[in-house]
Every structure is written in structure tokens, then in C-alpha cells.
Amino acid sequence: MSTITAVTYPVTDVTSSSAHIWTGVYVPDASRFYYCYEVWNVDTNSCVKDYCALASNGWTEAELDSVITAGISANTNYRYRAYGRISEGSIYAYGEWVYFYTGTPVVTTKAATSITNTSATINGEIITGDDVNTERGLYWKKGLTGDETKVVDADTGGGTFSTDLTDLEQNTTYYFRAYGDFTTNGTIYGDWLNFTTLFIIHSGGDCSVGVCVNGIADQILSNSMVCCGEVSDDGGDLVTEVGFEYGESEEAMWAVRQIGDDLGTGEFKLPIGVLKPETLYHIRFFATNATGTTYGEWKTATTIAAASYGVYEEETIPTICFYVSEDSGHTWSMKFGPYTANQTNIEITKILVRGSGRKQIKFTTDTKTGISASVLCKLDIKTR
């Protein structure tokens, strides 16, 4: 089967009424083929030129080096691409779209990305239009009145470009703008934009190593837990609020917070309650100063099962629990059930307890109780 490849090359010599384009179509096995290109007005989404020619017998490639004028007008966005087709059948190939603009070059400052407490990436874009770009890059400075630093990009021409900034000061606002030097239009600048570096907080943190499970939660019960976070640096402003957002997904449903005039830095612990048993919760720490709020990473913790009073299930097999009562210093017990298929001759060991209410007892032997050693059994303690 014949193969065919189409390649669109960069546009050159753009003016307000013309552009120099170059396309190529390649067929290694010398099948007869058509070599073509199409030009579209991007602003009106209409085709202004669609040209095709049939290659001569034996050709394996055909290139078009053309200056197009038909349908080209000033201050308009265009795109063009090469395409080809084997003359017998419907095997097509298309090159990539190449864009150009028939007007004064456009330089745009793009929003900063990858912002951390000490680094950021600043971005720019150039549409060359009817001029030739000879240099491009970005200026940046600390604050509105800082000294400007110029960073020259390694490439020239149209397209996007960026610069990575490092060793920045945390919780600090920086300003930046793109620029481009052109043969006819001189230097053109984009608008000034700004970004603010983060100040450091940790979701979790040491909080006395070994205390916070998963670096975020401690004392995890069926309906509550204690959350742990750390502010390592206040960023030069007073920390006025800290807290935890949490929910059953990485989307804050609820929050607990601590507010004050100056909470300072260090470790913070706050309880959260009204949770569901055996449920995975997503939690993140946050801290606020005059600049704004910074968030830590989402972490997870799972609540334990709710207490089951009167019966303990070990490996899904019900075991015996009981009431224990205390009267005038005499302790006695009675079976609380039935919870097993056969309860004949089951003996319950006396257990000394004080006070009433729901309690939890750990058994140390299974000789008389029939309950495995070290099992935690939930009890209702009733005083008579």
C-alpha cells in the first residue's frame, strides 16, 4: 500500500496583504499523487485558498514555495497547512496547521504558573505579524519599585516562551512583563502582571513525632478525631486564623478554625466531630494572614467502627457479653444474650467494676468465658 506524508513549513515574509508559505508532500514508492495546501481566515472561519496539483509520473516528492495574496488582508489571523492524496483511491495525509497574523506584532504577558514560596514560572507569547522578531524575553522585579531584571529567551520568532524564577522571597509580590524586538516596529511590551509567592505551612507536620497518624490526625474515634498542622513561617504578617477543611472527598464540606490577633507559628491541633463511623475523610490544614490564605496538601484519615454494646463479634462469630452489677460491695454477673447457638454450661468470670455506664473490658483468658484472650468486649454496667 502506498504511503504519503504532508509537511507544513513555517510562514515567512508576512505583510498586510501577503505571506510566503512553503509546503511539501512525499510519496516514497512514486505513486501518482496530488500535492496541495489550504489557507483559512481564522477570524471568519472561511477558506480563502485551496490549491492542488497532480505530480508528474515518477515523482516521489513535491514542494510548493508560494507567495499568497488572494484573500489576504491587514490585521487578520490566518492558518494554512499542506495536504496530499494518492491519485487512485482515498489515501490522504495532512500537515500541521501553521498560524500567522497580517498586522503589527502582538506581545502578550501570560499569567505566572507553578508558584511556590520561593519560585515561579513567568510566561509570554508573541504573534509576529508583518514583522520579524529578533529577540524576545521577559522583565521581572520585586514589588512595584524594585529593580528590573531582563531575561532573554534562547529562541526568536512567534509562539510562547517562559522563564523559571528561583530563590524568591516568600509571601512577596513580584511583577513581570513580556517583550519582543522587531525589525520594523522596534521593541513591543506586554502588560505588567504580578504574582505573590506562598508562605510555608505544612498539612500535618511533626506535631511531636509519632502523635499524628498520617501526619494529620490523632485520637481517631468513630465520630471524632484531633487534627494536626504546622505553620513554619508567618510570611512577615501576623497569622490570624488557622484551621482544617474536611469532607468525604477533596472538596471542603466543613471546617473548624481558630481565630486570634496573632496566633504565631508552630503546631496547631483542633478536634473535629460529628463524623460517621468507618468513613474515609480528606483533611487539609490552612492558615491566614493579611496577604491571604494558604492551604496544605490533602491528607486522609479513617474513623473506626462504632462501639457495639452487649455483643462483640470476632471474625463475624457472636460471643457472650453480660451485665455486671455492684451492690454493697458484692459483685455478681449475669449472662446477656442469647447470642450463640448453644449456651449450655457457659460460665462467666466475675469482674470487679465500679460505677455504671457503658464500659470496655479486655479478657485475659478464655478458660471460663469462652471469649478469646485480649478481646475487647463492650459492656453495659448497671448498678443495683
Q: What is the CATH number of the domain that holds 259?
A: 2.60.40.10
Residue 375 vs residue 40, higher pLDDT: 40
pLDDT digits (tens, 9 = 90+) for 46-70: 999 999 999 888 889 999 999 999 8
Residue 307 vs residue 259, higher pLDDT: 259
Say yes or no: 134 and 214 in one domain.
Answer: no
Mean pLDDT calculated for residue range 84-96: 85
pLDDT digits (tens, 9 = 90+) for 139-168: 999 999 999 999 999 999 889 999 999 999
Residue 138 lies in a domain: yes
Dmax over Cα atoms in the chain, in whole Å? Answer: 116
**DSSP structural state of residue 12:** B
Domain final residue pick, 85, 101, 117: 101
Cross-strand pairs, 84: 35, 93
Q: Is the pLDDT of residue 234 over 60?
A: yes
Q: Is the pLDDT of residue 91 over 60?
A: yes
How many residues does this entry show for the chain?
384
Residue 308 lies in a domain: no
Q: Which of 12, 13, 59 is nearest to 33 (CA)?
A: 59
Residue 110 lies in a domain: yes
Residue 215 vs residue 276, higher pLDDT: 276
Residue 307 lies in a domain: no
CA distance 199 to 167: 14
Q: Is the pLDDT of residue 212 over 60?
A: no
Is 243 in contact with 257 (CB distance < 8 Å)? yes
Give this prediction's pTM: 0.46
Residue 170 lies in a domain: yes
Residue 161 lies in a domain: yes
3-class secondary structure, 97? coil
pLDDT digits (tens, 9 = 90+) for 255-303: 888 888 888 888 888 888 888 889 999 998 888 888 888 888 888 888 8
Residue 223 vs residue 61, higher pLDDT: 61
Q: Is the pLDDT of residue 116 over 70?
A: yes
HSE-up (13 A, CA, CB side) for residue 340: 18
CA distance 124 to 178: 5
Grid cell locating 128: 509576529
The confidence score (pLDDT) of residue 307 equals 57
Distances, alpha carbon 77 to alpha carbons 21, 99, 302, 346, in Å: 15, 7, 55, 90
Say yes or no: 80 and 110 in one domain.
Answer: no
Say yes or no: 208 and 263 in one domain.
Answer: yes
Q: How confident is the model at residue 230 (pLDDT cuts 50, 70, 90)?
A: confident
CA distance 141 to 199: 19
Residue 80 lies in a domain: yes
Is 140 in contact with 123 (CB distance < 8 Å)? no
Least confident range from 179-183, 192-196, 264-268: namely 264-268
The confidence score (pLDDT) of residue 111 equals 95
Say yes or no: 166 and 210 in one domain.
Answer: no
Residues with Cβ within 8 Å of 202's Cβ and at least 6 positions away in sequence, in order, are 215, 229, 230, 231, 232, 285, 296
Residue 100 vs residue 124, higher pLDDT: 124
Which structural domain range is residue 155 located in? 106-196
Residue 296 vs residue 173, higher pLDDT: 173
Say yes or no: 9 and 96 in one domain.
Answer: yes
Q: Indicate the residue type of 372.
A: S
Say yes or no: 290 and 205 in one domain.
Answer: yes
Say yes or no: 37 and 21 in one domain.
Answer: yes
Say yes or no: 296 and 206 in one domain.
Answer: yes
CA distance 126 to 135: 11
Distances, alpha carbon 303 to alpha carbons 278, 296, 379, in Å: 5, 21, 21
Q: Which of 82, 80, 12, 24 is nearest to 47 (CA)?
A: 80
Domain final residue pick, 101, 126, 158: 101
Say yes or no: 97 and 119 in one domain.
Answer: no
Domains held by the chain: number: 4
Give the H or E element holding residue 79.
strand 77-86
Say yes or no: 184 and 91 in one domain.
Answer: no
Grid cell locating 55: 505530480
Residue 324 vs residue 10, higher pLDDT: 10
Mean pLDDT calculated for residue range 166-174: 87
CA distance 72 to 27: 31
Least confident range from 84-93, 94-103, 142-151: namely 84-93
Say yes or no: 293 and 213 in one domain.
Answer: yes
Domain final residue pick, 82, 101, 120: 101
Say yes or no: 207 and 296 in one domain.
Answer: yes
CA distance 189 to 202: 39
pLDDT digits (tens, 9 = 90+) for 119-133: 999 999 998 887 889
Q: How confident is the model at residue 199 (pLDDT cuts 50, 70, 90)?
A: low
Residue 85 lies in a domain: yes
